[in-house]
Chains A and B, each alone.
Chain A
Amino acid sequence: MNREATLTATQTTQAPGASLAWLRSRSRWSVFEIAFWLATLLTFYFFPSYLMLASQIAITALFAISVDLVLGYAGIITLGHAMFFGLGAYAAGLLSAKAGWGEPLTGLLFASALAGLVGFVASFLIVRVQHLALIMVTLGLGLLTYELANALSWLTGGTDGLRGIDTWPILGLFDFDLWGYTAYSYTLATLFLGFLISRRIVNSSFGLALRGVRENVRRMPAIGSAYRGHLRKIYTISAAIAGLSGALLAQTTNTVALEVLSFQRSADVVVMLILGGTGRLYGAILGAIIFLLVRDQLSGINPQYWYFGIGLLLMVVVLFMPRGILGGLARLAGRDQ
């Protein structure tokens, strides 16, 4: 590398317009993306008996996207995000079971707003800690919420789960069917909406600031950034999206088990992100697809030890594709310079 030349090269041929074009090209829809979303529709025709599984995947993918926003983009490690997923599930579930309001779209909004509100409050604590302490705080908040829901069994149904949820037809037109046509359409549409919102966020100046925090948090104040405000904002948004996905689960299954708040769920979603690749949204989706398909296939063979397969897969990916499967593919395709 000829450093001398670059230091003196104040005359250059590259136009400022080229840099704008370059930034635009990074946020433009690619054929792969369009193809992927079209492919999600194929499930209706080719795998009609898997629609319930597909809607589980869509719900989990949305949850994984919410975690990718904080973990993959802002670099906030979290092991307690099931807290917001569970809050959303209980909020939507209770709205129907206790308040008798089963209209799904308002239920989604209610659950998402509540999870976002709790996320906003929690964010003041989250931005104060880093590293191991951060993991412990998120873990602690998650466990607290789990035990709280357990203790409030008169409200939540405790270990028996919350019953009596009755979700009304979507828009008063589409009733939930046994096969999952409505459930998959509904969860897929919500996933797509959540994805569009997340995509806009990561491609905004705010998304750039989040990557700045992830890349060098110490430098952020030195470029004039009150970055804690950014972190509170993304944590709140992430909690709201996680709540959205939890509400989808409650509405499509008409039950809420205590498991929605479990540590296992918080840990699984991180595993999905590591499998698919962090900081690229599609990694979250791919991770959710792989994780749930592997679980579905392996638990059919051996219901007790299916996690062995996940563990093996995780090790292989971490060793050979440290930036996840999508990260590895991007590198192979040379689209990662």
Chain B
Amino acid sequence: MTKNADIVLRTEGLKKSFGSLQVTRDLDLALPAGARYALIGPNGAGKTTLINLITGEMRPDSGRILLEGQDVTRTGTAARVRRGLTRTFQINALFPDLTPLEAVTLAICEREGIAGQFWRSLTAHEQAISEGFEILRQLGLADVATKRTRHLAYGQQRLLEIALALATRPKVLLLDEPAAGVPKDESAMLFRVIEALPEHIAVLFIEHDMDIVFSFASRIIVLVAGAVLMEAEPAEVRDDPRVREVYLGSAHHG
């Protein structure tokens, strides 16, 4: 068990139902600083819903969410992001007509509280722009920085998802299937980008490819039907017969 003080994100007794369908059942979760946790589980297990609850896009029926020890259960999504709790989306949620440079710069301007300044030219915010470019460069998107997002290749759009999240300077980063739809050889590269993220960021990622999960996660949370089946080191998860049965054993498609 990690010391209380190191926990950046914690959920307590989180519950969510859609009608009679219980999608999140009494979920307790603790993410320490610098975590590289994987959240796995079959389709429909409630992984995306859990992220929606943590980021505030959905309200839990009951339970609490604590960010750096402070209750944010009733805090709006944008305010949580500004406090360092950021996510990416399983299905691209980008700005098709903006260029990556504009989109990332926008996120930085929002973070710095200067996005509402209508009297100064955008180009006066040189620092925000060069920081935005630097993030794109680190993710290998420099060459397409000034191309409209909708003209980017799919893999580049997945990277831009991460770039947008990084621009908010997260303390906790929740990645919902960052490699969804990306060919296997490319998804390994994408995860190398994730591995190279600043160490202090606590990362929770959802991923179906077990090879990737086992090589990039320091700890694995197995979610089945809205409840945590087990949470353990990769080796332990790999050898667990229940996990083999409900997850690894079944033919699976991400």
* Chain B residue with the shortest CB-CB distance to A12: B142
Whether A225 touches B115, Cβ cut-off 8 Å, given contacts A3-B153, A8-B140, A216-B94, is: yes
Contact at B106–A208, with CB atoms within 8 Å? yes
A1-48 contacts to B (CB < 8 Å): 1, 3-4, 6-10, 12, 14, 16, 19-20, 22-24, 27
With A7-B189, A224-B81 in contact, do A205 and B94 touch (Cβ < 8 Å)?
no
A20: nearest residue on chain B (CB-CB)?
B129
Chain A 221-241 residues near chain B, CB threshold 8 A: 221-227, 229-230, 233, 237
Proximity string of chain A (298-315) to chain B, C-beta cutoff 8 Å, 1 when within and 0 when not: 000000000000000000
Task: Judge if A207 is at the interface, Cβ distance under 8 Å.
Answer: yes
CB distance from A322 to the nearest CB of B (A): 14
Q: Chain B's nearest CB lies how many Å from the CB of A207?
A: 7
B36 in contact (CB, < 8 A): no
Which residue of B is nearest A220, CB measured? B78
A24 touches B123 (CB 8 A): yes
Answer whether residue B109 sits at the interface, using C-beta atoms and an 8 A cutoff. Answer: yes
- Give chain A interface residues in 189-238, CB to chain B under 8 Å: 200-201, 203-209, 211-212, 214-216, 218-227, 229-230, 233, 237
Decide if A1 touches B153 in the complex (CB within 8 Å). yes
A230 touches B151 (CB 8 A): no
**C-alpha gap A216/B117 in the complex (Å):** 20
Determine the chain B residues whose CB is within 8 A of the CB of A233 once the complex forms. Answer: 116, 118
Q: Which of A111-138 contact B (CB under 8 A)?
A: none
Task: Evaluate contact between A208 and B142: CB separation under 8 angstroms.
Answer: no
Residue pair A6, B140 in contact (C-beta under 8 Å) = yes
- Count residues on chain B whose CB falls below 8 Å from chain A CBs: 71
B167 at interface by CB-CB < 8 Å: yes
Within 8 Å of chain A (Cβ to Cβ): is B34? no
Q: Interface segment, B96-104, B205-213, B224-232?
A: B96-104
What residues of chain B lie closer than 8 Å to A27, measured between beta carbons?
Answer: 121-123
Which residues of the other chain, B, contact A226 by a CB distance below 8 angstroms?
76, 78-79
Q: Which residue of A lies closest to B120 (CB)?
A: A204
- B155 and A200 contacting across the interface, CB-CB below 8 Å: no
Q: Does residue B110 face the partner (Cβ distance < 8 Å to A)?
A: yes
The answer to whether A337 touches B148 (Cβ under 8 A) is: yes
Answer whether residue B74 sits at the interface, using C-beta atoms and an 8 A cutoff.
no
| B67 sits at the interface (CB 8 A) | no
Query: Assuming the A-B contacts A222-B87, A224-B78, are A209 and B101 also in contact, with contact meaning beta carbons closer than 8 angstroms in the complex?
Result: no
- Chain B residues with Cβ below 8 Å from A211 are 95, 97-98, 102
Residues of A within 8 A of B164 (CB): 219, 222-223
Question: Which of A4, A20, A200 is in CB contact (< 8 Å) with B119?
Answer: A200
Interface residues of B in 124-181 (CB under 8 A from A): 125-126, 128-130, 132-134, 137-148, 151, 153-156, 159, 164-165, 167-168
Contacts of B165 in A (CB 8 A): 222
* Total contacts A-B at CB 8 Å: 181
Q: Given A215-B95, A224-B107, A337–B122 Cβ distance below 8 Å?
A: no
How far, in whole Å, are A23 and B124 apart by their CA atoms in the complex?
A: 10
B55 at the interface (CB under 8 A from A): yes
Report the Cα distance A6→B193, complex, angstroms: 13
Give A39-69 as 1s and 0s: 1 = Cβ < 8 Å from B's Cβ atoms. 0000000000000000000000000000000
Q: In the complex, which of the residues A10, A16, A203, A218 contacts B122, with contact meaning CB atoms closer than 8 Å?
A: A203
Which of A7, A208, A227 is B190 in contact with, Cβ under 8 Å? A7
Is B246 positioned at the interface, with any CB of A under 8 Å from its CB?
Answer: no
A7 is contacted by which of B93, B118, B130, B186 (Cβ under 8 Å)? B186
Answer whether A22 and B115 are a contact pair too, CB < 8 Å, given A27-B121, A337-B147: no
Give the chain B neighbours of A19 by CB distance below 8 A: 101, 129-130, 132-133, 145-146
Q: Any chain A CB within 8 A of the CB of B105? A: yes
- Contact indicator B154/A7 (Cβ below 8 Å): no
User: Within the complex, what minimum Cβ distance (angstroms) separates B120 from chain A?
Assistant: 6
Q: Shortest beta-carbon distance, A96 to chain B, in Å?
A: 31
Q: A12-B142, A204-B119, A215-B96 are in contact. Are A6 and B147 (CB under 8 A)?
A: no
Q: Identify the closest chain A residue to B129 (Cβ).
A: A20
Partner of A205, one of B56, B122, B139: B122
> By the criterion CB–CB under 8 Å, are B145 and A14 in contact?
yes
Contact of B143 with A12 in the complex, beta carbons under 8 Å: yes
A204–B98 contact, CB under 8 A?
Answer: no
**A325 CB to nearest chain B CB (Å):** 19
B158 CB, nearest partner CB in chain A, Å:
9
- When C-beta atoms are compared, the residue in chain B nearest to A9 turns out to be B140
Please, which residues of chain B bring their CB within 8 A of the CB of A221? 56-57, 76-78, 81
Check A23 against B118 for contact (C-beta < 8 Å).
Answer: no
A-B pairs with beta carbons under 8 Å apart, 18 shown: A3-B154, A7-B155, A7-B190, A10-B139, A16-B130, A205-B114, A205-B125, A206-B115, A208-B115, A211-B95, A212-B106, A215-B97, A219-B164, A221-B57, A221-B76, A222-B165, A226-B76, A230-B116
Enumerate chain B interface residues (CB-CB to A < 8 A).
55-57, 76-79, 81-82, 86-87, 89, 93-98, 101-103, 105-107, 109-111, 114-123, 125-126, 128-130, 132-134, 137-148, 151, 153-156, 159, 164-165, 167-168, 185-186, 189-190
Inter-chain pairs besides A19-B129, A200-B118, A208-B105, 15 sampled, C-beta below 8 Å: A9-B142, A10-B139, A16-B134, A19-B133, A20-B129, A23-B102, A203-B121, A205-B106, A209-B106, A216-B95, A216-B96, A221-B57, A223-B106, A223-B168, A230-B116
